[in-house]
Amino acid sequence: MTQTVLKMLFSCIAIATFLSACSTTQKITPSLRTATEQLLLTESVLRSLPKDRDMPFPIPRGSKIKLDVIGVSADKDIVKGIVAGWLGMHGYIPTDEGASHRINIIVNSLGTELATTFFGIPPIQASLIPIATPELAIYKSESQLGYSRFHFDIFETASGKFLASSSPFLADTFYNMYTLLFLFKFDKSDLVSPPEIKTFRQLVK
């Protein structure tokens, strides 16, 4: 029984090693964040803002508003841009001069999380014999989550008087990649039009 299992294992390794020579390789790009990561962040911010145009807001519609963004994330400026567009759609005027009110956008969290589940044989690099085997994933999942959470602190510009603090705006997005039986790959996501890397089979169609 043991010999049969070993034969099957070595056969799978041999087949996977042969087929891996025909696999598609994705090279690391100079981007600080991949296109998928950027979408995870920006779409989570967009989804966190309410679409209701009649929402209660302690600033008269048509007012000029100065926006300041505060947070530890290096990506926090994208929140300021998205909030400016959102305020504009609701009848406010984002500006740096002549503003009657100031909104401090407090970015509590903005980033991605990655969790990996792997069942199979990891890549092996022999030290004594110059033989290496690729990763052999019977099952592998890479689950990536984009998350944003922020709120507004609202002030009168002239007096500096604090008016209100909003409830948190929060949302998340996900992009999951799966590998099954070494070669079969598929993904699942709630992103709108996530980037897709073309495989050889798709290119020759």
CA–CA separation, 75 and 38 (whole Å)? 9
- Cβ atoms < 10 Å from Cβ of 3: 7
Do residues 177 and 141 lie in contact, with contact meaning Cβ atoms separated by under 8 Å? yes
CA–CA separation, 28 and 139 (whole Å)? 23
Nearest to 75 by CA among 28, 46, 32: 32
CA–CA separation, 23 and 18 (whole Å)? 10
Q: Specify the 3-state DSSP secondary structure of 205.
A: coil
pLDDT in tens, the chain (205 residues): 455 544 555 555 555 444 444 444 455 556 678 899 999 999 999 999 998 766 778 899 999 999 999 999 889 999 999 999 999 999 999 999 999 999 999 999 999 999 988 888 887 776 666 677 777 888 999 999 999 999 999 999 999 999 999 999 999 999 999 988 878 888 899 998 888 766 544 444 4
Which is it for strands 64-71 and 184-189: parallel, antiparallel or unpaired?
Answer: unpaired
- How many CA atoms within 13 Å lie on the side-chain side of 178? 8
User: Which residues lie below 8 Å from residue 172, measured CB to CB, with a gap of 6+?
Assistant: 44, 145, 146, 147, 148
Nearest to 49 by CA among 14, 12, 78, 15: 78
DSSP per position, 57-76: -SS-TT-EEEEEEEES-TTT
pTM for this one? 0.75
Which residue ranges form the domains of the chain, and what is each CATH number?
A: 32-203 (3.40.50)
Look up residue 5 and give its amino acid: V
Angle between helices 35-48 and 77-89 (to 10 degrees): 40
